[in-house]
Amino acid sequence: MIDIQNQKDFRNIDIKKVGVKNIKYPIIVLDRARGTQPVNATINMYVNLPHHFKGTHMSRFVEVLNDFKGQISIKTFQTILEKMRQKLHAHSAHMEIDFPYFLEKTAPVSKAKSLMEYRCLFTGENNAEQTDFLVGAVVPVTTLCPCSKEISAFGAHNQRSIVTVKVRFKKFFWIEDLIKIVEDSASGEVYSLLKRVDEKFVTEKAYKNPKFVEDVVRSVAVKLNADDNFIWYSIEAENFESIHNHSAYAYVEKG
């Protein structure tokens, strides 16, 4: 059959990324408490396309995934990218994996246990000159406004916040540790299950520990700076304000 993708293109325009998005695929990730955890991931895969080719072979991306079925992890990520480059005859390959990660959390007073979901990210690039790999976590937390606490006779406004951290690193680390760094940098943690005694505890804890959105990203940065394993990071926090019709936002990046 005629290979249309391999035909010549005469517009002389290179394409930096071409491929497939939103592939739903089961993978297994490392879990410190249980060894491994099966998750349903969303995967994007791309390669570059030189100007003289009309198109890329989309089916080959899924073929590469199938070759690594059950073996997609931090350790195999660069191997998968290299296989993509070879199979699609490309100079560079990119892959993004987004997946839910569940941790068992214990309520602070009642000790009730529940599963808490965090969204995690693997992102990488491989070309003939260099490789790059990022790990990220999206962590919900509680923040309480220092200004509101200072000026109000009763209480202070608080909100759920989303903190997204991405890191480059030198050696293996646990996603759980990255999540803990974020949760320890906020006014309080978010839980799936709380009894009344727990609600009292987390509300009062947040009141004693007010944080602006700026405080959160700076606190995370201080903790990451103290660990020389993390050679680069980006941290962004968004507060879904409870008394404003907008969000508060802050971003910091190392390097």
Stretch 48-65: mean pLDDT, rounded?
Answer: 79
Domains of the chain are 1-100 (3.10.270.10), 107-255 (3.10.270.10)
Percent of all residues in the chain with a pLDDT value above 90, rounded to a whole number:
78
Mean pLDDT rounded to a whole number for the chain: 92
Nearest alpha-carbon partner for 90 in 50, 125, 129, 118:
50
- Examine the pLDDT at 4 and tell me if it is beyond 90: no
Q: How far apart are CA 239 and CA 148, in angstroms?
A: 14
> pLDDT tens digits for 195-227?
999 999 999 999 999 999 999 999 999 999 999
> Once rounded to an integer, what is the mean pLDDT over residues 241-248?
94
CA 25 – CA 32 distance, rounded (Å)? 22
Residue 129 DSSP code: S
What are the tens digits of pLDDT across the range 92-143?
999 999 999 999 999 999 999 999 999 999 999 998 788 999 999 999 999 9
Does the pLDDT of residue 165 top 90, yes or no?
A: yes
8 A C-beta contact, residue 144 and residue 156: yes
